[in-house]
Chain A
Amino acid sequence: MRLLLSLVLLLACAVPAAAQENVPPAPFAYRQLDNPEQEARAKALMVTLRCVMCQSQSIADSDAPIAGDMRSEVRTRIARGEDPEHIRQWLIARYGDYVSYTPQVKPITWPLFAAPVVFLALAALLLRGRFARARPGDMA
Chain B
Amino acid sequence: MNRSNLALWLPLAIFAGLFALFVGRLLHPGDTVVASAFVGNPLPQFDLPAANVGRPGLSTAAFRTGRPKLLNVFASWCVPCAAEAPQLEALARAGVEVDGVAIHDQADDLARFLAANGNPYAAIGRDDARKVQLAIGSSGVPETYVIDGRGVIRYQHIGDIRPEDVPMLLDRVKAAGGGS
Contact = CB atoms under 8 A, between A and B. Distances in A.
Interface of A: 16-17, 19-20, 22-23, 26-27, 52-53, 55, 65-66, 69-70, 72-73, 91-96, 98-99
Given A27-B129, A96-B35, A69 B134 contact: yes
Interface size class of B (residues with CB under 8 A): 20 to 34
Contacts of B41: 93
Interface string B133-152: 11111011000000000000
B37 A16 contact: no
A94 B37 contact: yes
B104 interface: yes
A20 B104 contact: yes
Contacts of B19: none
A65 B105 CA distance: 13
Contacts of B75: 20
Given A95-B36, A96-B37, A20 B77 contact: yes
B134 A94 contact: yes
Nearest to B75: A20
B104 A95 contact: no
Contact of A26 (B34, B36, B130): B130
A23 B135 contact: no
B79 interface: yes
Contact of A94 (B36, B104, B140): B36
B129 A26 contact: yes
A76 B135 CA distance: 14
A72 B134 CA distance: 11
B128 interface: yes
Given A52-B34, A53-B140, A95-B137, A72 B104 contact: no
B131 interface: yes
Given A19-B77, A55-B32, A94 B106 contact: no
Contacts of A72: 129
Contacts of B131: 73
26 contacts: A16-B77, A19-B76, A19-B109, A22-B77, A22-B104, A23-B104, A23-B105, A26-B128, A52-B139, A55-B32, A66-B130, A66-B139, A69-B130, A70-B130, A70-B134, A72-B129, A73-B131, A91-B134, A92-B37, A93-B137, A94-B36, A94-B37, A94-B136, A94-B137, A95-B137, A95-B139
